[in-house]
A and B are shown apart, each in its own frame.
Chain A
Amino acid sequence: MGKLEEIKKSIFRIRGLYIKELKVLLKDIFAMFIIYALPVFLVLFLGGVFGGNGTGGDDGGGGLASMMGGGLEIPTIGLIDNDNSEGFPNIDLSKIFVNKCMQYEEAEEVEIIESNNQTKLEILLGQGIISAYIIIPEMFEYNLSIHFPTILVVVIDVLELSGFQASQAIIDVIIEDFKEENNFTGVFDYEITRANIPETGRQLFSGVSLFFPMVIFAIASLTGAQLIVSDIPKDRLALTPANKFEIILSKLISLQTLMTSLILILLILSYFLGLQIRGSVFDFFWILFLCALLGIIYGLFMSSIAREPLEALQLFIFVFLFQIIAVLFVQNELILSLLPLANTSLLIVSIALRGQSPLSEYIYYLIQFSECIIFFLAAYIFYKRKKVLL
């Protein structure tokens, strides 16, 4: 009975501390505005409200980059026609290919620089003035006329990723269009169906797995990183019956409450901007909920080991930047599985976007739960060892 009474009192204290923490957080109106503005702007940008390729409608181009949902820039491509061969009566096939390129230039989908000097195009490519060049080879028309394939020379600059994607996409489109118009099906008439791409909100669909966890984790851990180290009245709390476990737990719950409302805003806005997912919205919510929880616990851990608010912020940059770069450039599964951002990103793709069962990725949930427990306990231990200055 005594123990039960103690638990009741503890819950009562946690409730009081929770309300106090929530009030402290909500009191900083400017900070709250940024917390909520960030996800709203994120979804609006990804949803194409401010332009770009956000509506994701299939413009018929069908290139790889447009499938990614990326807003493509107009690439500049060099073109050399080396073909003087004869094959079809009364037509110049290489000229038709050049005209096809010009049609796309008129439609403002590409800029073409015609030349007869490959060295000049190499220099332009090296200078970044053109992002690719095509050479129509000698025997182009003849080979096609005798039912033989022709190989175009295509050189692409890979130094600028956006130009690389845009030029490859437009070259694919021009070649497909040319083949279709002239009935060059090849031995295999590829009928490629790009499956599982939603009809609406493509950009949102392609950005959701990276940017949703990024925003949720960043806000949660950044705010969490200041909760202990910047909490001036926390030392006075030592005079009350509240213990440090109750204090840290109430901080966690209050920030998680805010993060939950933020996740709901993200999901509702995404739904209105046309995000289509194969999995259940509840699963998607829980994935983001867990990401937020992990973010707060990471933040609390940083806050408990930092001596100054600035130090906590620096720890936050370290953790956040390291994860972003790892997610973008590292492919080692072991390293990625330990990073909350990469883990959440994977769970979103598998469970929310692909519609797989949550059980199919239980190992990643297990890692996240383990990290939650380990870092929370570590945060508590460090916080408990901190000296109280009255």
Chain B
Amino acid sequence: MSIDIRSLKERRRRIFSLIRKELDTLVKDKVSMVILFIIPICVITLIGIGEFSLMGGLVELYIIDYDDSDESQEFIDTFKYNTTAEVSVKVKEDFNMTAEEFEEQAKEKLPTEEIVAYIILIENFSENLKNNKSTELPIFIDFIDFFSAFSAQASIMDATVHYQIINQQFESDLFYFPVMKPVESLNILQIAAPFLVSIMIFACINLITTQCIVGDKPLKRLLTTPTFRFEVIIGKIISYSILAILQIVLILLFLEFVFGIQYRCLFIELFLMLLLFAVNSVVIGVFFSSISSSRLQSSQLFLFFFIMMLLITQIVRIPAIVNFLPLEQATAAFVDLAYRGKTLLDIWPNLLNLSIITLFFFVINIVYFQYIKKEFV
């Protein structure tokens, strides 16, 4: 009998039955199915139809004119009427103030949302331009909101270049107007897609999987049958991965056919890379579920890992950690495959990294569930 239950055929049969049981349970949960597949649709649609601008919209500026000359007025007029940027300029006459009073007001307003920046036209503005062909231009930009600051800086550069062209006033200077490549990636959904797809797959699959052991009430009874513990783990990983396959296909097809995102690689390559990432999310989820003793604990572990991963990939970017995070690897691999037209062979470092992490957690899961987790004994 013991030989029989250990035979490969029997093991395969049991694992297959476990997969069927898991999938039956998952598919019966209509709400979870709807949420699992509705989230990507909602989020992609929201971004796909929404407006997004890297430039922070209208730039509110104060120009403090101490010079009161024709040149300084012309400079102000360039900002008001002759720029390509959206700028709203206020001068001291708008408030019936002296230049000093207006500068004080600008200092007070700069930390608020009323203005993004102010420019001071110094007393010898026109004289300097006539005699030295150059003048100082003190600019104060509020950097609390960096998008607005970026926008203000670009608008000021744009207007001053226009002023120079209109007045044919030039001096030794070095400019550059960055050319963004590839041009079509200025579509927000296209820019966001690699991160968006990765984060959605990770969050949905990982969180659902965190409940697979800790929330499996009949598991204790199941382990009294001739089923090995590692078979349970394998069964769970495969069944959740099947669910992930459906989610990946839905996301990729929705992006391609509804929002026209062009992939420069074979669909199957992108799919396989994302599948590896999804399996990675599943094994990490199973790990969280194995080490937790309540549903709340496992979902909190998910939250901890998710927020830390988001923080490190988006802001802190500690080199020693960031390259080992699945989200970073999947996002980079998505960009390389879908937008740079690379093949799976070209992105082997990302795949190797994801595979090692997956294998590591898989082994940990087996060892932990087989030898360490005693709750079911």
CA distance A161 to B328 in the complex (A): 12
Minimum distance in angstroms from B61 CB to a CB of chain A: 13
Find out whether the CB atom of A325 lies under 8 angstroms from the CB atom of B138: no
Say which one of A104-112, A187-195, A281-289 lies at the interface with B. Answer: A187-195
CA distance A290 to B188 in the complex (A): 32
B interface, size bucket:
35 or more
Residues of A within 8 A of B315 (CB): 46, 69-71, 203, 206-207, 211
Find out whether the CB atom of A332 lies under 8 angstroms from the CB atom of B51: yes
Scan B143-167; emit 1 where CB is below 8 A from any A CB, else 0: 1111001100100100010001000
Find out whether the CB atom of A329 lies under 8 angstroms from the CB atom of B318: no
Find out whether the CB atom of A28 lies under 8 angstroms from the CB atom of B297: yes
Known: A159-B185, A168-B178. A194 touches B143 (CB 8 A): yes
Size of the chain A interface, CB-CB below 8 angstroms? 111
Which interface residue of A52, A67, A308 has the most chain B CB atoms within 10 A? A52
Residues of A within 8 A of B110 (CB): 195-196
Known: A50-B318, A154-B178, A311-B31. A188 touches B160 (CB 8 A): yes
Find out whether the CB atom of B47 lies under 8 angstroms from the CB atom of A350: no
Residues of A within 8 A of B182 (CB): 126, 158-159
CA distance A83 to B186 in the complex (A): 32
CB of A115 closer than 8 Å to a CB of B: no
CB of B93 closer than 8 Å to a CB of A: no
Residues 301-326 of B contacting A (Cβ, < 8 Å)? 301, 303-304, 307-308, 310-312, 315-321
Scan B321-347; emit 1 where CB is below 8 A from any A CB, else 0: 100000000001001100111100000
Residues of B within 8 A of A46 (CB): 311, 315-316
CB of B200 closer than 8 Å to a CB of A: yes
Find out whether the CB atom of B143 lies under 8 angstroms from the CB atom of A207: no
Minimum distance in angstroms from B288 CB to a CB of chain A: 10
Scan A259-295; emit 1 where CB is below 8 A from any B CB, else 0: 0000000000000000000100000000000000000
CA distance A160 to B185 in the complex (A): 11
CB of B377 closer than 8 Å to a CB of A: no
Find out whether the CB atom of B113 lies under 8 angstroms from the CB atom of A356: yes
Residues of A within 8 A of B38 (CB): 318
Cross-interface CB contact of B133 among A71, A187, A324, A353, cutoff 8 Å: A187
Minimum distance in angstroms from B218 CB to a CB of chain A: 14
Minimum distance in angstroms from A170 CB to a CB of chain B: 13
Find out whether the CB atom of B129 lies under 8 angstroms from the CB atom of A187: yes
Residues of B within 8 A of A (CB): 29, 31-32, 35-36, 38-39, 42-43, 46-47, 50-53, 110-113, 129, 133-146, 149-150, 153, 156, 160, 164, 169-182, 185-186, 188, 191-192, 196, 199-200, 203-204, 207-208, 211, 215, 292-297, 299-301, 303-304, 307-308, 310-312, 315-321, 332, 335-336, 339-342
